[in-house]
Amino acid sequence: MKCPDTGSCHVHVHKKNRTDHEKGRRLCIGTVCLKAAVIILAFLFSPNASGQTYFFDNYGVADGLSQSTVYKIIQDRHHNLWLGTQSGVSVFDGMVFQNYSTEDGLAINGVRAICETPDGAVWLGHTGGGISRFADGKFRQILLPGVNPASDITSIFEDGKGNLWILTAGAGAIKLTGYTGRESDWDIVQFKGNELSDQIFGGCVGKDGSVYLVTDVGIKRFSDSLNRFSTYQPEGLTTYFTKTCILEDRRGDFWFGTYHGGLYRLMKKDGKFRVYDIRDGLSSNWISTLHEDPAGRIWVGTWGGGITVIEGDSLVVYNTGNGLQDDKIWCFLNDAEGNLLIGTNEQGLSIHKGNAFVTFGTRDGLHNPQVWAITKDALGYYWFGTSGGITRLKSGTRGSVQASYMDEKSHFLNNQVRFLQKDSKGNIWIGTNGGGIYSYQFNPERLVFDPILNSLLYKDLVITALVVDRKDQLWAGTNEGLVYYEIANQKGDRLTRINGLAGNEISSLFYDSRGILWIGARGKGITRYDDSRQQFTVLRSLENLTPRCMAEDKEHRLWIGMEGQGVYVLEADSIVLHLSEKEGLLSNLVNLLGVDNSGNIYIGTNKGLNKFLPREGRMLTYTRRNGFTGIETKSNALYSDPAGYIWFGTVNGAVRYSPGSDISARREPFTHIRRFRVNYTDYPLTSGIHLPWYNNSVIFDYNSVSLSNPDVVMYQIMLQGNDRDWQPPTRQTTASYSALSPGKYVFLVKARNAEGIWNSQPAAFSFQILPPFWKRWWFILLCIAAGSTSIVAYIKVRERNLLYEKRLLEEKVLERTQEITRKNQELASKNKDITDSIRYAERIQRAMLPPDVPFPETFVLFRPKAIVSGDFYWFMEEEGLQLMAAIDCTGHGVPGAFMSIIGYHTLNKIVREDRILDPALILKNLNITVHNALRQKGDTSPISDGMDMSLAVYDPARRILTFAGAVNPILLIRNHEITELKGDRYPIGHVTPADTVFTNHELLLQSGDMIYLFSDGYADQFGGPYGKKFKPIHLKELLLKIHDKSPGEQQVLLNQALEEWMKGFEQNDDILIIGRRF
């Protein structure tokens, strides 16, 4: 992008007679306009900037790397990175560097060359000629009999034929055959001198398996049949410039890097050379390394010029001027995720993760890094509203940009620019934080401050939101209402809650494709304005929330970003989806929302950017580690330009995103179990290991190597044999289990990467803890045999004694039996009298309760523990209102039944005689009556009985349900989501003061809503495999599972679930559940 060579803007002032009461308010505005009107200002030009900053991640000494010079990089079969440095080798697992040196068994000096061989061993070549080998978890120095390199090892590679080549800077090349066997069986051949050369810079294996070496006297090719080297000098290849590196690409073209002679390419199709140098766009003529990436691009590393990427006829340069950390390059490597790793001379490890994100900051032309708004005008200029005014950018030559500025000093424009909106004529409207609204008009070019428009604003002139609708009406949010302004007619008004808004402090505005204006208010939710009906409608489903941003998807659903509540999605004014940190959002504070051409949703937060793919349900994550360097996005600072780029304003400049360059590879995470410790002692990772019973505390270390964005990798673990299910996602990479019982176990771990993809198959490690010897089968059998023998002997002795005692006992038993029979007859008679009385009480209680449920779509599950119950249900219809209650009296059986009679008749009296229909007042009067009936006078009363209850009053005409509770709650299930309204924390009677005031809760019911009132009997019932309580959470899960059934079916299912849970256990309390569908 660049800016125009020249440009100017003018300030235009509209003058209009104003009444006396306006003069005081507009004095300040008029003064500013008068000053601006007499000054015609041109945009201030800055020198050409670099144009854009590409993203290169970087790891250096501060991150744990042992030293800043990275000679060589490989990625082993476990996805660990090995980096050769001047101080040894660093092994990186994506999170932590482990540094190794001579103290760990390495040869002396730095590591210049690294190679992993097919047997899993890692070979390392050192400066000075040392060779090290890592195998079986240990480093060891290698001495080759008859060979003394005595010079730097420049490269080590395997040729695919079982030969390991070790190249040196002064001792030629060494071919090692049979290196996977015993050292005594190794076949070692050294090539140097006239046959090859002593100085070998590097080499490669061609597609045909030929070995090519780069020497100080040219390119040499090895002949397997002759076991010797010959000169490889294609016609047209320079003989003047020293060759430094060689590469054969997938097309069969050879690339030759030179020392100050540029890059030579031998094209297979015609056998001709093409030469690249700085005149063709090459960053430097000194080529240090070559690499072909998976896309077929050639990466040319130079010594002092950075990197040139060749793709077809296009050359792109990366250097310290546009994001690369170092211009001297040692090596390249594509890792398993497709990232390009770069070994630099002084800046450690750099990583190129694609050009999906490009950052524009102050070094690229922005006047201020805080970018609040972005747009593009008809002339192709990009506008950036910042905390330092406005910056306009347009691309210049050779990747540079030209920049021009408008600010308070140059144009009397308030520096705190927050919004940029275009009208149908292409004019740009500018909303500021404290300076009101300006417009930039293009015919002719001028900056206009309209006093009529600004006089409608609140006195602080703070603009909190800004949109222009398709009728060219300007809508501006303020701290005290919503301003609308007809641009063509220059008239408008300020609207407030009096006009139908949910709140006066406007937090966001959005104008959708159907002509609906959506208005967010701080702490008050959303108002919908239909221009065709001239009608405001407040959405009750989002009350008390603060919408910060909005967007519309292809299905015309409204996406709303909230302050601290994540994202809500509305369809037909109903919430159909909610996304939060639980679903993968970086933060619940959402600053911006946008939709691309593919229907993907962009969610900017204070901690980075998320991209949600609705069709797949995947949440992608972007932070500093994968290119989104701005991190914290600004409110509504999102712009989609005609070229398909998406721009984001952040606290650290503007970030341009290219969806087409961000192609998801859909790779699963590379997850590994790294370490296994038993009682804090390291054990080998041998799956199926057996441990003695006292070694029962284990620790696992695991990780997923993800250089793309290691900060957002999440893990789930499970120890089969100990855990019933996967543990919640976490970023922890260590799991410990202590005091494990003897048995078989399998530790499982899976990871989720920045693309939101979980491992389909977790990493697994199995082990077994053996029982102690006294729990082994053989010991148990031995004990049984010994015990059996002792028992038989004991029985024989006792048998004689028992026969004698038996005769004595029989005589006493006969005598006692006669006495017991007589007493049992007396007890049976008394028990019958008591039972008959309780049965009669049961009939009285049953007669008291409603014989039938008077309301439709309602069920009652009523199971007393004893013959009579302390729980009871109550229904009544009075004055068009439908009342229902579930009451749990103190105790159960006869005491509870007495309390239920008091409660039932008191409720009837309060409603029918006292005409009290308010739930909270009913509870209050019931509390007073119970206190008086039981003579409860404070905490010293000997009678502490009372009742817990849920009471609901439904108004069918208004579809409003009012609820009040004494301890007990009410449950509402709507759209497969459960909501619990808790009752007050004090019961009826007992220690609750007689003048206690209870609280009402109102619910606007929708068709299909299901409500439940219940006592604590169901949740407190003991049962299940472990004899524990059913618990309220399981009751909620059960209700949520069956709520879409008919009420009759729900009653049956609840009863069946209870019977299944109670198997082997007695009912321990009265049980009552009332359910009703509306």
3-class DSSP assignment, residue 708: coil
Fold exhibited by the domain 853-1077: Phosphatase 2c; domain 1 (3.60.40)
3-class DSSP assignment, residue 109: coil
Q: Give residue-wise pLDDT tens across range 444-465.
A: 889 999 999 999 999 999 999 9
- Which among 632, 634, 627, 625 has a CA at the least distance from the CA of 608? 632
Under 8 Å between Cβ of 357 and 631? no
Lowest mean pLDDT among 246-260, 568-582, 834-848, 1042-1056: 834-848
Query: Per mean pLDDT, which of 9-23, 221-235, 795-809 is the most reliable?
Result: 221-235
pLDDT of 28 > 90? The answer is no
β-pair partners for 263: 257, 276
Q: What is the 3-state secondary structure (H, E, C) of 304-315?
A: CCCEEEEECCEE
pLDDT at 11 (0 to 100): 28
Give, in order, the Cα–Cα distances in Å from 329 to each of 65, 453, 717. 17, 58, 41
Label residue 265 by pLDDT band (50, 70, 90). Answer: very high
β-pair partners for 164: 158, 176
Pick the CATH number of 28-42+360-661 from 3.40.190.80, 2.130.10.10, 3.90.226.10, 3.90.1150.10: 2.130.10.10
Distance CA 257, CA 260 (A): 9
Query: For the stretch 1007-1021, what's the b/e string if a residue is b when 16 or more beta carbons lie within 10 angstroms of its beta carbon?
Result: eebbbbbbbbbbbeb
β-pair partners for 506: 521
Distance CA 227, CA 189 (A): 10
Q: Do domains 28-42+360-661 and 853-1077 have the same CATH topology?
A: no
Strand order in the sheet with 574-579: 547-552, 558-562, 567-571, 574-579
Mean of all residue pLDDT scores within the chain: 89
Distance CA 124, CA 113 (A): 6
Distance CA 894, CA 964 (A): 27
Q: What is the 3-state secondary structure (H, E, C) of 471-498?
A: CCEEEEEECCEEEEEECCCCEEEEECHH
Measured in residues, the chain has a length of: 1078
Distance CA 647, CA 359 (A): 10
Query: For the stretch 470-490, what's the b/e string if a residue is b when 16 or more beta carbons lie within 10 angstroms of its beta carbon?
Result: eeebbbbbbbebbbbbebeee
- Which among 350, 310, 309 has a CA at the least distance from the CA of 326? 350
**β-strand pairing of 173-177 with 163-168:** antiparallel
Fold exhibited by the domain 671-775: Immunoglobulin-like (2.60.40)
Largest CA distance in the chain: 132
Sequence-separated contacts (24+) of 906-913 with Cβ below 8 Å: 906/930, 906/933, 907/874, 907/876, 908/876, 911/876, 911/878, 911/883, 912/876, 912/878
Q: Give residue-wise pLDDT tens across range 901-917.
A: 888 888 999 998 999 99
Distance CA 1029, CA 1021 (A): 5
Domain ranges of the chain: 28-42+360-661, 671-775, 777-848, 853-1077
Average pLDDT over residues 975-987: 92
pLDDT at 809 (0 to 100): 84
Query: For the stretch 500-532, what's the b/e string if a residue is b when 16 or more beta carbons lie within 10 angstroms of its beta carbon?
Result: ebbbbbbbbbbbeeeebbbbbbbebbbbbbeee
Under 8 Å between Cβ of 264 and 258? yes
- Cα first-last separation, the chain: 61
Give, in order, the Cα–Cα distances in Å from 398 to each of 47, 132, 281, 678. 14, 47, 10, 61
pLDDT at 489 (0 to 100): 93
Average pLDDT over residues 682-687: 92
Label residue 7 by pLDDT band (50, 70, 90). Answer: very low
Q: Is 833 exposed, middle or buried (0-12, 13-18, 19+ CB in 10 A)?
A: exposed
Distance CA 417, CA 371 (A): 9
pLDDT at 290 (0 to 100): 97
Average pLDDT over residues 704-724: 93
% of the chain with per-residue pLDDT over 70:
92
Query: For the stretch 774-805, what's the b/e string if a residue is b when 16 or more beta carbons lie within 10 angstroms of its beta carbon?
Result: eeeeeeeeeeeeeeeeeeeeeeeeeeeeeeee
Q: Give residue-wise pLDDT tens across range 904-951.
A: 888 999 998 999 999 999 999 988 888 888 776 655 566 667 889 999
CA 810, distance to chain mean position in Å, is: 79
Distance CA 48, CA 274 (A): 33
Write down the number of H helices and E strands in the chain.
Answer: 8, 81
Average pLDDT over residues 580-594: 95
Average pLDDT over residues 136-146: 92
Distance CA 176, CA 165 (A): 6
Distance CA 602, CA 610 (A): 6
pLDDT at 984 (0 to 100): 93
- Which among 285, 341, 330, 325 has a CA at the least distance from the CA of 308? 285
> Which residues have a Cβ under 8 Å from the Cβ of 253 and sit 6 or more positions away?
265, 266, 267, 268
Distance CA 363, CA 372 (A): 18
Tokens encoding 222: 């090895």
